[in-house]
Amino acid sequence: MLTCDHYLMPTSLEEALMLWRGAPSGSRLVAGATDILPWAREGRAGDVHLPSLIDLSRVKELCGYTVEAGKVRLGANVVYQQFLEDETLRRHLPAMPFCAIWFADDQIRQQATLAGNIVNASPAGDGIPPVIAMNGEIEMARLDGDRIVRRTMRVAEFLRGPGKTALGPDEIVTAIICESMEGYGGSFQKVGQRRSLVISSVCAAAFVKTDPSGEIFEDVRLALGGVGPVPLRLTDIEDMLRGQRITRQLVADAAGLPADRVASRTRRDYRRAVVRGFIEAAIEDALVACGAPQPGPAQREAAHV
């Protein structure tokens, strides 16, 4: 059970930063609250009492998104359901609707934020592989005297290990900034123990862009989650595919490469088996999203003979 002395709801970034700077030790920032409440239960953290909880969901500077100069700047309060329902976000972040549909359920997606998912730094965080595949950056703010100062860094560098990030003690995450992937096909693969509300055992995100003929990989982005302490970007496979003619065999060959990079402490063999299929499916689904025909089971099998 989570208890606190104060539940604070600042409405501006400056107010939030002031409260955060002045908060007694042990206080926590709250975004969607969908992770902190289950965390403070028996079997995980148990009963937890915190001095202050600072809820950021009404900080106006953290709400909404902008698309500018090929980048999408997602305010830290953007929730997962927006990736499903917002036409503009779907166009610019084409893997995110597929990621979102596998994330928790419709109700939790109304509260859970992408920024919160990244800050939690779970090795299985669903939002992280697509964001690192989009060369995502994270923007943080803190007070320097009375002045708000911001810094950004790559999400791939921000994540330091399970639950560990580069966020400073007085900083608040303000935005996630991704490259616009307009024109790419996106896809997301996930396996867990049920359909809704499941933590990934393995997940994979892909973005694929083909040349105008639809026969050449113009660009490929791939990332894996749930396979080690932090999600993995697969740049060598991207390089291997970029500029090549699209063949089922090439995709199958590429999919065989990353299995040995699975470094999870548990169920390693299972995850290795899954990864091969996931990379192939992720690329194929992204190609289908670009307009390629859906391969049948026979075609899928043929590449593995």
Partner 1 sequence: MSDLELEMHINGRAVKRRAAPHLRLLDFLRDDLNMTGTKEGCGAGECGTCSVFVDGKLVKSCLMPVGKANGARIETIEGLAPKGGDLTEVQRAFHKTGASQCGYCIPGMVMAATSALRENPDAGIEEIKERLGGNICRCTGYTKIFEAVEIARDVIAGRLSAAALEPDPAGNSFIGNNVRRLDAPSKVSGRLRYAGDMVMPDMLHMQVLRSPHPHARIRVIDVSAAHALPGVACVITAADVPGEDGFGVFVHDQPIMARGIVRYVGEAVAAVAAEDVLTAKEALRLIKVEYDELPAVFDPEDAMKIGAPVLHDYAPTNITKHIPIRKGDVEQGFAEADLIVEDYYETQQVEHAYLEPEAGLAYVDHDDVVTVISPSQNITHHRHMLAKIIDKPINKVRFIMSPVGGGFGGKEDMIYQGMLALAAMKSGRPVRLVYTREESIISTAKRHPARITYKMGLKNDGRITAVEFKMISDGGAYGMSTEGVMRKAAILACGPYDIPNVKIDTIGVYTNNTPSGAFRTFGAMQAQFATESHLDICAEKLGLDPFEIRRRNMMQDGAITHTQQTLGKVSIGTVLDAAETASHWEAGAPGRGESRSDLGGEGTRAPCTLGARFAPAVAKVKKEVA
Q: Which is nearer to partner 1, 98 or 217 (CB)?
A: 98
Antiparallel, parallel or unpaired: β 28-30 and 48-55: parallel
Which stretch in 35-43, 126-134, 151-159, 270-278 sits in contact with partner 1 by CB under 8 A?
Answer: 35-43
> In the set 106, 215, 236, 239, which binds partner 1 (CB under 8 A)?
106
Helix (H, G, I), strand (E, B) or coil at 66: strand
Three-state SS string over 192-229 comes to CCCCCCCCCCEEEEEEEEECCCCCEEEEEEEEEECCCC
Q: Out of 14, 28, 71, 110, name the contact with partner 1 by CB under 8 A.
A: 110
CA distance 89 to 82: 8
* Stretch of 28-36, 157-165, 171-179, 260-268 lying at the interface with partner 1 (CB under 8 A): 28-36
Give the 3-state secondary structure of residue 76.
Answer: coil
CB of 293 to partner 1, least distance (A): 9
State how beta strands 202-210 and 217-225 pair.
antiparallel
- The footprint of partner 1 on residues 196-255 (CB under 8 A) is 196-197
Interface with partner 1 includes 90 (CB under 8 A)? Answer: yes
Which of 13, 19, 29, 53: binder of partner 1 (CB under 8 A)? 53
Based on the shown chain and the rule CB under 8 A, indicate whether residue 19 belongs to the binding site for partner 1. no
Q: Return the number of the residue (9 or 257) whose C-beta is nearest partner 1.
A: 9
145 exposed, middle or buried (CB, 10 Å; 0-12, 13-18, 19+)?
Answer: exposed
Q: Which long-range contacts (CB under 8 A, 24 or more apart) does 152-158 make?
A: 152/177, 155/118, 155/128, 155/131, 156/132, 156/230, 156/233, 158/118
Token pair 């709801």 is found at 9
Q: Minimum distance between the CB of residue 282 and partner 1, rounded to whole angstroms? A: 14
Please tell me whether residue 33 binds partner 1 under the rule CB under 8 A: yes
Work out whether 105 is an interface residue with partner 1 (CB under 8 A): yes
Can residue 175 be called a binding residue for partner 1 (CB under 8 A)? no
Pick 222 or 289: Cβ nearer partner 1: 289
Q: Which residues contact 298 (CB under 8 A, 6 or more apart)?
A: none
Query: Pick from 15, 55, 170, 253: which binds partner 1 (CB under 8 A)?
Result: 55
